[in-house]
């Protein structure tokens, strides 16, 4: 008997043996088995999802003249990231709805005081217990890294950052679920799209202030081809994104 045939025989035998043992122990799926109703007194830590976890987040920008040539402005930067982990009731903005004063201030100036007050209200209402309030990408750097916490009660991630210069444009992760099928997401990369907050009618990155009155709903940024390269928040032709966020579950 050659080695591979011998191995196949061994596997077949092992499979039969495993099934026999399972059935003998009542672990099979036959209709005669009694459902297990007792709660295990000990659960291996490796199989129970933690209630609270820590993630490392890295925000990397790819807003370059090479990637987005049309009207690429000088002095491009992103404002410090603000956000939270929250439940279904705790989001900070919705597409196709008018932006809150906190989102407007962030999108137009990078100021985070009003948005932080709104997040505080969300937390007081019981919809979040973790505020993300971090520094931005520093001059000469392409990325910034920090950690945040999520819990099974507040498993959704939202973060925003103004892109500058711009009238009222920002990037965001909006209510990303980190806990699915009773399991924490191990790692994920999220390409960022550019949103228009609907509060300023400027058409180009360096347009002067021009308040939109009444305010319009939040949309993904689309523009005339002479104004920017964006359609639905990404490069209209190449599909390139202005940046991305990587999250990684810490052990």
Rounded to whole angstroms, the maximal C-alpha distance in the chain is 84
Shorter beta-carbon distance to Ca ion: residue 155 or 167: 167
The least CB distance from residue 218 to Ca ion, in Å, is 9
Shorter beta-carbon distance to Ca ion: residue 9 or 95: 95
Q: Radius of gyration over alpha carbons of the chain, in Å? A: 25
CB 204 within 8 A of CB 72: no
The least CB distance from residue 99 to Ca ion, in Å, is 10
The least CB distance from residue 213 to Ca ion, in Å, is 12
Shorter beta-carbon distance to Ca ion: residue 89 or 97: 97
Shorter beta-carbon distance to Ca ion: residue 105 or 137: 105
The least CB distance from residue 183 to Ca ion, in Å, is 39
Shorter beta-carbon distance to Ca ion: residue 101 or 126: 101
User: What does DSSP assign to residue 211?
Assistant: B
> Which residues, 6+ apart, have CB-to-CB distance to 130 below 8 Å?
84, 85, 148, 149, 150, 151, 154
Residues that bind Ca ion (CB under 5 A): 168, 196, 200
> Which residues, 6+ apart, have CB-to-CB distance to 149 below 8 Å?
52, 53, 54, 55, 85, 130
The least CB distance from residue 200 to Ca ion, in Å, is 5
Write the burial class of residue 215 (CB in 10 Å: 0-12 exposed, 13-18 middle, 19+ buried): middle
- The secondary structure of 65-101, three-state, reads CCCCCCCCCCCCEECCCEEEEECCCCCCCCCCCECCH
Q: Is the peptide bond before 165 cis (omega within 30 degrees of 0)?
A: yes
Shorter beta-carbon distance to Ca ion: residue 53 or 197: 197
Question: Residue 249 is encoded by which pair of tokens?
Answer: 């579950």
The least CB distance from residue 167 to Ca ion, in Å, is 5
Shorter beta-carbon distance to Ca ion: residue 200 or 229: 200
In angstroms, rounded to a whole number, what is the distance separating the alpha carbons of residues 115 and 28? 54
The least CB distance from residue 86 to Ca ion, in Å, is 26
Tell me the residue length of the chain.
251
State the residue number with the nearest CB to Ca ion: 196
């Amino acid at each position: 008997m050659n080695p591979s045939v011998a191995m196949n025989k061994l596997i077949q035998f092992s499979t039969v043996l495993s099934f026999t043992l399972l059935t003998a122990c009542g672990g099979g799926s036959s209709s005669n088995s009694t459902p297990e109703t007792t709660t295990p007194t000990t659960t291996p830590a490796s199989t129970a999802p933690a209630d609270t976890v820590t993630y490392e987040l890295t925000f990397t920008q790819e807003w370059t003249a090479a990637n987005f040539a049309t009207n690429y402005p000088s002095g491009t930067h992103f404002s410090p990231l603000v956000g939270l982990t929250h439940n279904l009731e705790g989001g900070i903005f919705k597409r196709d709805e008018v932006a809150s004063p906190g989102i407007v201030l962030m999108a137009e100036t990078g100021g985070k005081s009003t948005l932080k007050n709104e997040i505080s209200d969300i937390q007081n209402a019981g919809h979040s217990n973790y505020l993300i309030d971090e520094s931005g990408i520093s001059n000469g750097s392409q990325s910034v890294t920090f950690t945040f916490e999520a819990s099974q009660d507040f498993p959704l991630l939202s973060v925003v950052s103004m892109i500058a210069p711009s009238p009222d444009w920002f990037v965001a992760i909006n209510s990303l679920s980190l806990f699915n099928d009773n399991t924490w997401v191990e790692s994920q990369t999220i390409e960022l799209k550019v949103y228009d907050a609907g509060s300023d009618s400027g058409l180009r990155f360096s347009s002067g202030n021009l308040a939109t009155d009444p305010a319009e709903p939040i949309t993904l940024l689309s523009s005339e081809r002479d104004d920017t390269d964006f359609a639905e928040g990404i490069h209209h032709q190449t599909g390139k994104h202005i940046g991305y966020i990587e999250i990684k579950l810490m052990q």
